[in-house]
Amino acid sequence: MGRLCVAALVAFSLTACGAKTGLRVPDVPDDAPDALDVDDVVDASDVLDAPDAPDVCAPTTLPVERFSAEVIFAIDRSGSMGERTPSGITRWQAVTTALSTVLPAVERELWAGLIQFPGAIRFDNQCGDNTRIELTPRLLNGARVLAALRSTTPFGGTPTYDALQTAANYYRTTPAAGRVRGRYLVLATDGGPNCNAALVNTSCVCTSARGCLGPRGNLSCLDDTRTLTLLASLSASGVPTFVIGTPGQDVLALAPTLERMAVAGGRPRSVPGEPAYYRAEDVGEFTAAFRAITTELVRCRYVTNPVSDPAQVRVRVGGRDVPRDRSHADGWDWTRVETGEVMLYGAACEAAQRAEGAVALRYGCVD
């Protein structure tokens, strides 16, 4: 083949083949547009702005039941409980009237028991026998408690320590009944504890206006040290005590003892300007004190399953959301997160009482 033919074949091959890949590519016309710039490429999101997937949240309904508590009412029936209140009735009548108002509203959730102290009194022993519980705690026990109180006449000393020790022995040796969630004492007294024969009447603080000298005068000595120790021990063991006190004219300066007893018992009031104990002088104040205590224990207290994130719990009363209120004025709050205990306060509590069974707890979907 001549040199001209070989050159022609080489030129044809270079025109028809890709320079690097060896793949055949079509010829590009001279008037073809330039390659698309990257900025000219339409983004897919400009074509279709797809909506976000809807948030799917299905809150869980939590089981809820009223808190059930076991309470022993330790009621002082010493002679000073026969003194008159500002309204003219005796302190003893004020206590009995107050409990007759409060107990019927809570006796389906409150396992109520009773100790009256001093117990059975002999003519030679005004401190009585305080070794037994008059009524052991049970539901629907209000009528029995009231009947026992109404059949009593105030008399004798104030063996507070002995009564508390009897209650402590009962709680230590007797398992909690039914679905009881907590065990408590409610102590109502109008004087400083006494009836400790081991005290020395010549060096003690005396609880009697008549003094502590004379035969058996030491039984009127203030028995505060061991009483406070026992109250603190009971609280540490899981049995706190609410203290309702009537210092009266307080000529013997017993109010500070009531204050210390309330603190040692583990359930002091925390109202600015008010004493740590529930001060009650007449039937209205006794009623308010008993109602406040039983409301805290069972009337507006509920139990649900413990949850991993307490902030995701929502409470509804009567179909309406109730805000969480850590000030405990009006709303709800946890009382014990670890055991699933919640409490309603203010209008939320009252609404729950007007619409029985209308309290609902939901878990999840809380922003």
- All structural domains of the chain with their residue ranges: 68-299, 301-363
Q: Which of 329, 294, 261, 328 is nearest to 109 (CA)?
A: 294
Inform me whether the pLDDT recorded for 356 exceeds 70: no
Which tokens is 173 given?
Answer: 């040796």
Report pLDDT for 191.
78
Model pLDDT for residues 211-258, shown as the tens digit of each residue: 888 888 899 999 999 999 999 999 999 999 999 999 876 556 688 999
Q: Answer whether 0.85 is exceeded by the pTM.
A: no
Query: Given this model, what pLDDT does residue 249 score?
Result: 63
Mean pLDDT of 152-168: 95
Least confident of 84-93, 327-336, 347-356: 347-356
Decide: residue 301, CB within 10 A, 0-12 exposed, 13-18 middle, 19+ buried.
buried
Q: How far is CA 339 from CA 86, 181, 342, in A?
A: 44, 10, 9
Distances (CA, A) of 180 to 70, 170, 184, 273: 6, 15, 11, 34
Digit-coded pLDDT (tens) for 8-35: 333 333 334 333 333 344 454 555 555 5
Helix-helix angle 224-236:255-265, to 10 degrees: 20
Highest mean pLDDT among 64-68, 148-152, 346-350: 148-152
How do residues 85-108 score in pLDDT, each as one tens digit?
Answer: 999 999 999 999 999 999 999 998
pLDDT at 254 (0 to 100): 85
Q: Cα–Cα distance between 200 and 205 in angstroms, integer? A: 10
Question: Vertex 172, ends 67 and 130: CA angle to 5°?
Answer: 105
Structural domain 68-299, CATH architecture: 3-Layer(aba) Sandwich (3.40)
Question: Which of the two residues, 25 and 343, has the higher pLDDT score?
Answer: 343
pLDDT at residue 56, as a whole number: 64
Which run of H or E residues covers position 97? helix 91-106
Give, to the nearest 10 degrees, the angle between helix 160-173 and helix 224-236: 20
Running DSSP on this structure, what letter comes out for residue 210? Answer: T
Six-digit token pair at 81? 């409980």
Q: Which tokens belong to 249?
A: 């004219």
Asked if pLDDT for residue 123 goes beyond 80, the answer is: no
Across 111-117, average pLDDT:
97
The token duo for 156 is 């004798």
Q: What are phi and psi of 40, to 5 degrees?
A: -85, -10
Query: Range with the lowest mean pLDDT among 98-102, 184-188, 253-257, 272-276?
Result: 253-257
Average pLDDT, the chain: 84
Determine the pLDDT at residue 10.
32
Q: Does the structure show a pLDDT above 70 at 83?
A: yes
Q: Give the model confidence (pLDDT) of 192-205 as tens digits.
A: 899 999 999 998 99
The side-by-side arrangement of strands in the sheet containing 182-189 is 135-138, 110-117, 69-76, 182-189, 241-245, 278-279
| Spatial distance between the Cα atoms of 173 and 272, rounded to a whole number of angstroms | 38
